[in-house]
Structure 1
Amino acid sequence: MGRTVNTVTGPVRPEDLGKTLVHEHFVFGYPGFHGDLTMAPYDRQRALDVGLDVARRVMAHGVRTVVDATPNDCGRDPELLWEISERTGLQIICSTGYYYEGEGAPAYFKFRGAFGNAEEEIYEMFMRELTEGIGGTGIKAGVIKLASSKGAITEYEQMFFRAAARAQRETGVPIITHTQEGTMGPEQAELLVREGADPRRIIIGHMDGNTDIAYHLATLAHGVFIAFDRYGIQSFVGMPSDAARNALVTGLISLGYGDRIMLSHDSVNFWLGRPVQWPPALRDLLAAWHPTHLFEDVVPALVQAGVRPEVLDGIFTRNPARLFGGDDGAV
């Protein structure tokens, strides 16, 4: 039997992933939201309603699979993802992993490491969630999510990178990453490959936080995929405009890297905790940050800029299939 992909409703073949968004969030909360449940209890029904609407909207654009990149410490809800998938037919891939030190929940494994081997425990967590299931749900994670800080991969974060490389060697499951404000893409790739991870099963994420083509080429030199996966977040937290992203994507495709690029939004469809009150000016900047923006606005702009439709089809279909172990032929 060939390689399969863990979705929340069961295994599928890489070739059956179809059109894929590789980095989105059905629900997300910054660690600490659990302590505010008195003021903001989890409205699971509302989260479900929003998730069902998002699933149907992206499916109307031909999307068949979404990778939910929510880390374990940021409100991941695999049973919610299962219900969304069951009721809509959208294939959803759930993550196992922790967020970066500055915005994640580092105290737990730092405490564990003071009295034992935290890295071994992280590895055990990854393996259990990938091969047996998350908690008592029986739902298996299908990707490992990693994250690093701005300008550094801290000692705490390196534990997760090493444990992930080890788990990936044993399972073949892809690794997806968060880079902070356009930094550490080449360093993440180098560390993972040095630890024995297969570069063909790695996406270095949020690469569109940096518009220096040398940064992208240095990352690609390690044989990994790169993701422009924050489309719609513009001029905020160091984010460039979508026009700048498009120029860089077009340039990299012209250099022959169309088979190593993936596109997504990093959209948060339901915030855990109290509702986010965006200031009016920021709300205007984030107006395009939604999970159909690529298909409604970005793809037409890329086609107008000269990117062939078949290359874009490869970015959304063949590249994800290859990441998950399908045919390694180029676009």
Structure 2
Amino acid sequence: MSFVRTLTGDIDPQEMGFTYSHEHLVCIPPYWRERGEDDLLLDDKEKTKRDVLDFKRHGGRTIVDATAVDYGRRVEEVKAIAEETGIFVIGTAGFNKSFLWSAQLPERLRGLIGDYETYYRWIDEASIHQLAEFVIREVEEGLEGTPCKGGQVKFGTGYNRITPLEIKTIRAVARAHHETKAPIHSHTESGTMALEQMEILREEGVDLSCVSFGHMDRNPDPYYHEQVAKTGAFLCFDGIGKIKYGPESMRIDCILSLVEKGYEDQILISGDTARKSYYKHYDHGLGLAYIIAKWVPRLVDEADRRGLDGERLVRKFFFDNPARCFAFKT
């Protein structure tokens, strides 16, 4: 028996429908707010909601909101978007990468975890067990004291390095996964350190088929992708539409190369839409409809040209694979 946990309740995996596997809906990251980076503050629920409705009008059904506690979640606003649009939203327990942790802890968190000044001080002073207990509560009771339960657990590491405190959060998230059976998501900065993260997860006894590794297209290395895929893990290509990091041809070629090597069951697709300038209704960007409305037809065309069945791959990447990846297996 398996289920998917959304902010509005548990559902059968087959109810997910067309799914984006890594997005951000409403969040005000303390790190970026303290530095005046307004583009990174998704602070208008109604504008986000209009983009979600665009996604829905094109056939979208589920969005994974990958916003962890240290990235300024607005849990109840995201839940309201889910309720008002009829879209399923999967929330995220756990942590991001360590450079965000110099930010001040908001008052709402101090009441839950203790009177720590910053995220860094909290994670440094807490034990792995205490951090794991916090993540477990977010999955089993609710995110930040709300009734909205997390549907995946997350950790992150920086560019080409893993700090001691990041190792600590990886271990805490792994132990929370064992307790809750929640799927695991990894933030890899620029697509680096996935294999090194795996070494720690193996030490913690984690089955890597329960893990999705984000930002794989930021490191467009087919050999590297194959090494990750060989472990049975999911690879999330979540930079669709971000031409500043490389053309769509690069991302599509990496994806189809994995398909040709036999790894089509491990591929997830999304946009990691975490800036106002990426959203249509904030700042005239491509918006949440871009992938489903414009990118998918191109993927189908390019797959068909390579002798692959593009429509079948769309079913895999946006329906079947997310339904397996985000399921709690009891």
TM-score, normalising length from structure 2?
0.84
Distance 1:311 1:262, change over 3 A: same
Find 2:67's aligned residue among 64, 70, 75. Answer: 70
- Residue 219 of structure 1 deviates from its aligned partner by 1.0
2:118 pairs with 1:108: yes
Q: State the SS of the aligned residue for 1:165.
A: helix
Match of 1:324 among 305, 319, 326: 326
Q: Distance in 2 between matches of 1:202 and 1:34?
A: 30
225, 232, 236: which one pairs with 1:227?
236
Distance 2:50 2:57 in 1: 11
Shift in Å, 1:112: 3.8
CA contact (8 A) 1:50 1:269 kept: no
Q: Report the CA distance shift for 1:257/1:72 in structure 2 as closer, same or farther (over 3 A).
A: same
1:182 aligns with 2:191: yes
Q: Matches of residues 251-270 of structure 1 in structure 2 within 5 Å?
A: 251-268=257-274, 270=276
The aligned counterpart of 2:252 is: 246
Matching residue's letter, 2:214: G
Query: What CA distance in whole angstroms lies between the structure 1 residues aligned with 2:221 and 2:21?
Result: 23
> Does the C-alpha gap of structure 1 residues 113 and 211 become closer, same or farther in structure 2, counting only changes over 3 Å?
closer
Counterpart of 1:313 (choices 307, 312, 315) is 315
Q: Does 1:140 align with 2:149?
A: yes
Displacement of 1:269 in angstroms is 5.7
Per-residue CA deviations over 1:216-275 (Å, capped at 9, x if unaligned) read: 01111221000100111122xxx222110111111111111111100000002659xxxx
Q: Does the Cα contact within 8 Å between 1:99 and 1:105 map onto a contact in 2?
A: no
* Aligned residue number for residue 222 of structure 2: 213
CA distance in 2, matches of 1:14, 1:105: 37
Residue aligning to 2:10: 11
- Distance of 1:232 and 1:144 partners within structure 2: 26
Q: How far apart are the structure 2 equivalents of 1:123 and 1:31?
A: 22
Pick from 147, 164, 178 the counterpart of residue 169 of structure 1. 178
Residue identity in the other structure for 2:121: F
CA distance in structure 2 between the partners assigned to 1:218 and 1:206 by the alignment: 15
Q: Does 1:158 align with 2:159?
A: no
How far apart are 1:301 and its partner, in Å? 1.7
State the shift of 1:48 in Å. 1.9
TM-score w.r.t. structure 1 length? 0.84
1:259-298 aligned at under 5 Å gives the runs: 259-268=265-274, 270=276, 287-288=285-286, 290-298=287-295
Deviation at residue 291 of structure 1 after TM alignment: 1.8
Secondary structure at the aligned position of 1:268 is classed as: coil
The counterpart of 1:49, out of the listed 46, 49, 59, is 46
**Contact 1:207–1:226 under 8 Å retained in 2:** yes
Q: Post-superposition shift, 1:190?
A: 3.2
How many correspondences in the alignment? 305
Whether the aligned pair in 1 keeps the contact of 2:16 and 2:319 (CA below 8 Å) is yes
Aligned equivalent of 1:21: 20
Alpha carbons of structure 1 residues 33 and 249: separation in structure 2 relative to 1, 3 Å: closer
Name the CA distance, whole Å, in 2 between partners of 1:30 and 1:128. 22
Aligned counterpart for 1:81 among listed residues 75, 78, 103:
78
- State the alpha-carbon separation in 2 of the partners of residues 255 and 323 from structure 1: 20
Q: Do the aligned partners of 1:229 and 1:264 also contact (CA within 8 Å) in 2?
A: yes
What's the C-alpha RMSD, in Å, of the aligned pairs? 2.7
In the TM superposition, residue 53 of structure 1 has moved relative to its aligned partner by: 0.7
Report how far residue 131 of structure 1 moved: 0.4
Matching residue's letter, 1:252: L
How far apart in 2 are the matches of 1:71 and 1:269? 16
Which amino acid in 1 is paired with 2:289?
A: T
Provide the C-alpha distance between the structure 2 equivalents of 1:30 and 1:129, rounded to a whole number of angstroms: 19
